[in-house]
Structure 1
Amino acid sequence: MLDHQTLRKARALLAASRIALVAVIVLALAMRLWFWWIQARSGAVPPGDPEEYYRAAIHILHGGYHDTGKWLRPPVYPAFLALLLPAAGMNVAGALLLQACILSVGVLAFYTFGAHLFGRITGLVTALLAALFIPLASYASSLYAEALFITLLVAGLTALNDAIDRKSGRMAFGAGVILALAALTRAVGVYLIPLAAALIAWRAQSDGYRVWRWHHPAILLLLGAMLVIGPWVGRNYLVHSRLIVSDTNGGISMWYGTVRSDAEQAAGEARLAAVPNLADRQALALHMAWDIIRDDPVRFLTRMRFKIASLYALQTRSYAVGDVISIDSRGAPIVQNAGEYRLELTILADVQYIVLMLLAIGGFCFIPQPVRATPTLLWIGLATLLAALTIGHPRLRLPIVATVLPFAAYALIRLPALWRQPARFLRDRRSYAALGGSLVFLALIVSTQYIPWSAGIWYAAPGRAALDAGDLRRAESLLTLAYDANPDNPLRLIDLADLYLAQGDNERALELYRLAASMERRSLYAQAMRAITAAVLDNPAEAAAALRAIDGYWRTGNDLLEWAWNAQHMSAPSRVIPGDPAALGFYAGFAPATPDLTVGRWTLGEGRVRVRGGCGTLVVRMHGPAGRMVDISLDNWNIHERITLTGAPQEMHISLSGIRECEHNPELTVWFTSATGLLDLEMAPWYGGVAITDVQVTP
């Protein structure tokens, strides 16, 4: 009877844990879908890393690979993206939606990792932490390899731990395969493979096994990795005549981390661009980096310390120094830039980060078998060292934080025991190790920049609230105090510019937007509002200069166009030329500028233009591939027309006389819906529908 009851309890516990795990997966899915909704619906491809991954995926779909970029990217994430894009009809937003759904199931890898180290309950808590951690959730719907890399890395560390525990050659082989897939997702994983093999051999030797027993699993791990990486290395040798293990980005990143001035960077980039072979380009970058290090080794070592601090710094620091790139003054994302959020969400993410790291430090110190933490600690040390040698970007921190989640979960579960018996923990020497580690971590994230920022935000937060509520007098008083408290922060200038814009003083607003942009040239909000305000003041040169500044750092892609569509509150003009600086905010659903068009832009399959109507005629000038059909419709007016493209420039004339109260010139939203096709594999790898060159309402 007792055995039967025990069996029933065990089955009930197993069923409950499965239900809880399903609930965690659903929660992870909800979080990732929410981030997709707020950051990835535009279908835009951001410049930089996302564009390179996207280009590689498009080349894969056309039977090749992107071998002509600034550097060669690892193939796993582009291959993953190449599977998603056709399933989504070559729509980037749809592909990222599928990616978010698939990677939601990735919390199972965290469950397995935690359960293997500490048991099923810790595994569930680990999965829950992974589901709720804001950076992990946001990267799942972005065009970055981080989310997939982290999933593979966690699975690889789990297999590595299992291989060490069981001295299993089969598990070691599997760990090698998984770690190799991670290395072909992000090249930083390459260096973990030989270290993992050495760790397996060392652990087996330490446990007293014969030589062949500790050589055997280490060799199998390397063999598994070679079977995955080998074909990629062979392919690269055939194409580039050089040995490229994963990518050619590492050497260039190291050089970027050593440059001493903008002039040195510009000269170095020109030298690199002149080298056609990507492997030779990386070799040159390494050579330039070592030359700089030899010239001033003390500076390099000092910079390493600062890069480690930058790696572990809080994301809120961007607000403290005012180098926010992609968030507008009301907290809305302007472009898709994973890892940058509105202030409230940023603070919440940083609170999560601090709590998780402090818990993880305690978990490492109090783990029952400290040797089982060795693979994770090995990875943390490696990742930190590589960041110190290259670029201490906060994005590189995410794979570190993700791998410590089981230890944070273990410490979290043990917290009740700490509260019940605090004296026992105070007598434990491990408590002092945890305290020391916590103090080191806190020293890395503390910055004096938060002092003036805190003084300014004390007034800025209620000042922005008053501005949004229309209380301009109170807003002016508070925002002026905020600027006086923190005058070196361009965000405080932007607040004042928004205030003057609300007061109708467009010239003063433009002056402050321009000044804020000069303080932080990457501020897309300052540059975009500079363009919009200049257009209102009939200053096309200023508007064009602002958009050139955006294209110099980012690009005027559809994410920016969608934001401007919602942010633009000026009356629509009677004529809109997509791509014209004065038209920002009056067209959306369009691809970036392409070299085949000097005027106009291609739609992304569903574009729209907002114009001031009348009782005359809507004239649309367009062109596109012969035989493609384009549906043109006007919101709320039951006007629908279809035109078949001929391959030559065409005009479409639509009478507006049937619109009720057309004499009052109501604003019209004109929609263009069509199939899409690849514009140009190398020069413009976007899937465009129809090129709209002019939309005008004539009398």
Structure 2
Amino acid sequence: MAQGLKCIMQWFMDRKCLTLLVILSLVIRFAILMVVIEHPEKSLGGDAGHYDLIARNLLAKHQFLGPSTMLGTKHYKGLSFWHEAQLYPDSMIPESLRPPLYPGFLAAIYLLFGRSVAVVLLFQNLLAVMTGIIAYKVSEKLFGNTVGIITFILITCNLGLLAFPFYLLTETLFVFLLTLAFWFLIEFLETSRKKYLLFSAVIAGASALCKPITCYLILAVMPVLVMKYRTELSRIVVYGLLYSGVAMMVISPWLIRNYLIFNHAKISSSQGLNLYIVNVSMMESDKFASDWGLLHKQKLIDVQEIIDKSKLNSMEISTITEEMGLSAIRKEPLSYLRIHLKGMVRMLIGHNLPYLHALLTDKPYNSGSALSIFVETGSLRSALDSLRRTSGSLPVVVVLIVIVRALIYMFFLYGGYRMIKTSPLYLLLFLSFIGYFVVLTGPFGIDPRFSVPIIPFINIVASFGIYSLFERFRLHRETSKGEV
């Protein structure tokens, strides 16, 4: 233990610039934390209240329990200790909507420190800084120390990775695990040591227990294995099976639990529910130019009626709603393709300013801000009209964010272009991970929250682009001086 701490300290001492940036990042996050803990209810809105309730049930009843209805958390008051469990003690049933890792993370903190929102936020901010350090290590490994420093700065300043550690939501823990799995995958590709592939697979499996979207992460890994071992089919097959098999072993206890309780071996019941309630609502809203919120609410009511009238468990309800969603999509495949593609684009251009803005001001999350309107409607005219109506400094901030995002993507494209020549294998890996999340997220890309997983990968490539561009200018200047 002491030797390990000594090695860590020496590692940071050898990287003084990174150490100073880490300290500065922690100071900024601590300052924001001091503001946020004055109103901890902001950190517990929406899905956060559900995670908090499950965590408290884990501690009190030693079971993974949630509300008995889909709308059970609608009026949940997150700050009232055991509020919902006390009011509706018999309404808690085995939970299937939320995977276990994040509620377990909360429960572990509650067990050690009591139910303190501030302590959870502190731990999440430490994870966010560690995510930046891991991204630095990936960049340093592939491109050198300077690119690593640029990567850490970009990730530290990113609004998504700055805002979400202050919410009791899965994003921070999930991105940390995903970046860690990516780092071990890089180590495997560099050294061909199978232990790194195993570590990556274990962590990928754990991340699927945080957000189920990584269940199929092998789809992002396989193209890289094929490219690296294109003349060795047996190694491609063995490594592919090893990665997916180990990840499945990590997930399997939860699948067994759900099979025993619900007779369905799925990680979550969210897939079917989201397909009908969210995706079909978006499709109908886009096709008929109607209010998405009203359609979404009506779909919730429809599903709630099925729940109230039947004796089916939540997984069975999910299966029914999944078929309802697929049926609607089969009737209008082009309409669904349209909203899927729009969601992919919005995921790439989305921003997280409203989440940070809501934390630091008395105003709630404002989906009517100019950039949000552009992201949600695709209408530049509506966004500009909103911008003109907005008073104060927010329009300036929005414009700056748009400019910075545009520059990041320009550097990303240039970095990708340079990687085609220098490291095509790793370019494929970055593009595979980014493409995986963009394609699978689809219509959900309307919420900038879902863009958070791809932030580290985009910024690493963009950092290499920044470095390469400055190196090109430097060499050009030196060449010009030499000629003179």
Match of 2:118 among 55, 69, 93: 93
- C-alpha change, 1:32 and 1:345, in structure 2 (3 Å) is farther
Residue-by-residue CA offset, 1:449-473 (whole Å, 9 max, x unaligned): xxxxxxxxxxxxxxxxxxxxxxxxx
Match of 2:446 among 378, 392, 402: 392
- C-alpha change, 1:358 and 1:385, in structure 2 (3 Å) is same
- C-alpha change, 1:408 and 1:391, in structure 2 (3 Å) is closer
Task: Specify the code of the residue in structure 1 equivalent to 2:334.
Answer: V
Name the CA distance, whole Å, in 2 between partners of 1:240 and 1:41: 41
Match of 2:252 among 213, 230, 238: 230
Residue-by-residue CA offset, 1:87-140 (whole Å, 9 max, x unaligned): 443122332233323432332211122122222332232122222223211212
Match of 1:404 among 449, 458, 463: 458
- C-alpha change, 1:280 and 1:347, in structure 2 (3 Å) is farther
**Residue of structure 1 in register with 2:467 after alignment:** 413
Name the CA distance, whole Å, in 2 between partners of 1:131 and 1:326: 17
Residue-by-residue CA offset, 1:167-190 (whole Å, 9 max, x unaligned): 332211111011112221112111
Name the CA distance, whole Å, in 2 between partners of 1:232 and 1:316: 32
Name the CA distance, whole Å, in 2 between partners of 1:280 and 1:152: 30
Name the CA distance, whole Å, in 1 between partners of 2:366 and 2:24: 23
| 1:290 and 2:326 are equivalent in the alignment | yes
Contact preservation (8 Å) 2:160, 2:449 = no
Task: Specify the code of the residue in structure 2 equivalent to 1:218.
Answer: G
Name the CA distance, whole Å, in 1 between partners of 2:356 and 2:162: 20
Give the deviation of 1:351 after TM superposition.
4.0
- C-alpha change, 1:269 and 1:43, in structure 2 (3 Å) is same
Give the deviation of 1:407 after TM superposition.
1.0
Give the deviation of 1:366 after TM superposition.
0.8
- C-alpha change, 1:264 and 1:325, in structure 2 (3 Å) is farther
Give the deviation of 1:30 after TM superposition.
2.0
Match of 2:206 among 177, 181, 184: 181
Task: Specify the code of the residue in structure 2 equivalent to 1:93.
Answer: A
Name the CA distance, whole Å, in 2 between partners of 1:336 and 1:294: 35
**Residue of structure 2 in register with 1:459 after alignment:** none
**Residue of structure 2 in register with 1:56 after alignment:** 54
**Residue of structure 2 in register with 1:214 after alignment:** 236
Secondary structure of the residue aligned to 1:73 is coil
Match of 1:193 among 208, 214, 218: 218
Match of 2:227 among 182, 193, 203: 203
Name the CA distance, whole Å, in 2 between partners of 1:121 and 1:413: 8
Name the CA distance, whole Å, in 2 between partners of 1:21 and 1:219: 38
- C-alpha change, 1:369 and 1:253, in structure 2 (3 Å) is same
Give the deviation of 1:377 after TM superposition.
0.8
Instruction: Note the 1:598-617 alignment, pairs <5 A.
Output: none
Contact preservation (8 Å) 1:110, 1:123 = yes
Name the CA distance, whole Å, in 2 between partners of 1:132 and 1:296: 41
Task: Specify the code of the residue in structure 2 equivalent to 1:334.
Answer: K
Secondary structure of the residue aligned to 2:264 is coil
- C-alpha change, 1:142 and 1:201, in structure 2 (3 Å) is same
Task: Specify the code of the residue in structure 2 equivalent to 1:272.
Answer: V
Moved more, 16-25 or 221-230: 16-25
Aligned-residue identity in percent: 21
> Any unmatched runs of 5+ in structure 2?
1-9, 71-95, 286-292, 373-392, 478-484
**Residue of structure 2 in register with 1:378 after alignment:** 432
Instruction: Note the 1:386-535 alignment, pairs <5 A.
Output: 386-420=440-474
Name the CA distance, whole Å, in 2 between partners of 1:59 and 1:216: 41
**Residue of structure 2 in register with 1:306 after alignment:** 342
Cα RMSD after superposing both structures: 3.2
**Residue of structure 2 in register with 1:105 after alignment:** 130
Name the CA distance, whole Å, in 2 between partners of 1:327 and 1:212: 53
Name the CA distance, whole Å, in 2 between partners of 1:248 and 1:400: 24
TM-score by length of 1: 0.52
Q: Indicate the structure with greater helix content.
A: 2
Task: Specify the code of the residue in structure 2 equivalent to 1:22.
Answer: T
Q: Higher relative contact order at CA 8 Å, sep ≥6: structure 1 or structure 2?
A: 2
Name the CA distance, whole Å, in 1 between partners of 2:336 and 2:211: 25
| 1:36 and 2:33 are equivalent in the alignment | yes
Task: Specify the code of the residue in structure 2 equivalent to 1:236.
Answer: N
Contact preservation (8 Å) 2:408, 2:459 = yes
Name the CA distance, whole Å, in 2 between partners of 1:117 and 1:348: 30
Match of 1:244 among 263, 266, 269: 266
**Residue of structure 2 in register with 1:530 after alignment:** none
Name the CA distance, whole Å, in 2 between partners of 1:243 and 1:123: 41
Secondary structure of the residue aligned to 1:105 is helix
Give the deviation of 1:237 after TM superposition.
1.5
Task: Specify the code of the residue in structure 2 equivalent to 1:376.
Answer: F
Name the CA distance, whole Å, in 2 between partners of 1:242 and 1:110: 37
Give the deviation of 1:420 after TM superposition.
4.3
Name the CA distance, whole Å, in 2 between partners of 1:406 and 1:377: 12
**Residue of structure 1 in register with 2:303 after alignment:** 272
TM-score by length of 2: 0.74
Name the CA distance, whole Å, in 1 between partners of 2:262 and 2:296: 26
Match of 2:274 among 241, 248, 253: 253
Give the deviation of 1:146 after TM superposition.
0.9
Secondary structure of the residue aligned to 2:166 is coil
- C-alpha change, 1:151 and 1:272, in structure 2 (3 Å) is same
| 1:332 and 2:361 are equivalent in the alignment | yes
Residue-by-residue CA offset, 1:600-622 (whole Å, 9 max, x unaligned): xxxxxxxxxxxxxxxxxxxxxxx
Residue-by-residue CA offset, 1:618-668 (whole Å, 9 max, x unaligned): xxxxxxxxxxxxxxxxxxxxxxxxxxxxxxxxxxxxxxxxxxxxxxxxxxx
Contact preservation (8 Å) 2:26, 2:129 = yes
- C-alpha change, 1:404 and 1:265, in structure 2 (3 Å) is closer
**Residue of structure 1 in register with 2:15 after alignment:** 18
Task: Specify the code of the residue in structure 1 equivalent to 2:316.
Answer: D
Secondary structure of the residue aligned to 2:64 is coil
Give the number of equivalent residue pairs: 400
> Any unmatched runs of 5+ in structure 1?
1-12, 319-323, 424-699
Task: Specify the code of the residue in structure 1 equivalent to 2:301.
Answer: A
Q: Indicate the structure with greater strand content.
A: 1
**Residue of structure 2 in register with 1:363 after alignment:** 415
Secondary structure of the residue aligned to 2:65 is coil
**Residue of structure 1 in register with 2:89 after alignment:** none
Name the CA distance, whole Å, in 1 between partners of 2:101 and 2:366: 21
- C-alpha change, 1:160 and 1:401, in structure 2 (3 Å) is same
Contact preservation (8 Å) 1:31, 1:137 = no
Contact preservation (8 Å) 1:360, 1:404 = yes
Contact preservation (8 Å) 2:341, 2:442 = yes
Bigger-Rg structure (1/2): 1
